[in-house]
Structure 1
Amino acid sequence: MRAKDVLGRRGEDLAADYLQAQGMRVVERNWRCPEGEIDIVALDGDALVIAEVKTRRSLAYGHPFEAVGADKLARLQRLAAAWCRVQGLRAPLCRVDVVAVLDDGIGEPAVEHLKGVG
Structure 2
Amino acid sequence: MAAHNELGNKGEQIAVNFLRKNGYQILEQNWHFKQKEIDIIAIQGDTLIVAEVKTRSTENWEHPSEAINNSKIKFLVDATEAFIEERDIDKEIRFDIISVIPENGEWKIEHIEEAFYPPMN
- TM-score w.r.t. structure 1 length? 0.91
Alignment of 1:21-40 (within 5 A): 21-34=21-34, 36-40=36-40
Aligned match of 2:62: 62
Question: Is there any run of 5+ residues in structure 2 with no aligned partner, and where?
Answer: 117-121
Aligned match of 2:44: 44
SS of residue matched to 2:97: strand
After superposition, what is the alpha-carbon deviation per residue over 1:36-65, rounded to whole angstroms, capped at 9, x for unaligned? 210000001110000000000001321001
2:101 matches 1:110: no
Q: CA deviation at 1:86?
A: 1.4
Q: 4+ residue stretches of structure 1 with deviation over 6 A?
A: none
Rounded to whole Å, the distance in 2 between the matches of 1:66 and 1:99 is: 11
Kept in 2: contact 1:54–1:98 (CA 8 A):
yes
SS of residue matched to 2:94: strand
Question: Is there any run of 5+ residues in structure 1 with no aligned partner, and where?
Answer: none
Rounded to whole Å, the distance in 2 between the matches of 1:61 and 1:72 is: 20
Rounded to whole Å, the distance in 2 between the matches of 1:5 and 1:116 is: 26
SS of residue matched to 1:31: strand
**Counterpart residue identity of residue 94, structure 2:** R
Q: CA deviation at 1:89?
A: 2.4
**Counterpart residue identity of residue 42, structure 1:** A
Rounded to whole Å, the distance in 1 between the matches of 2:87 and 2:58 is: 37
Q: CA deviation at 1:71?
A: 2.4
Aligned match of 1:96: 95
**Bigger strand share:** 2
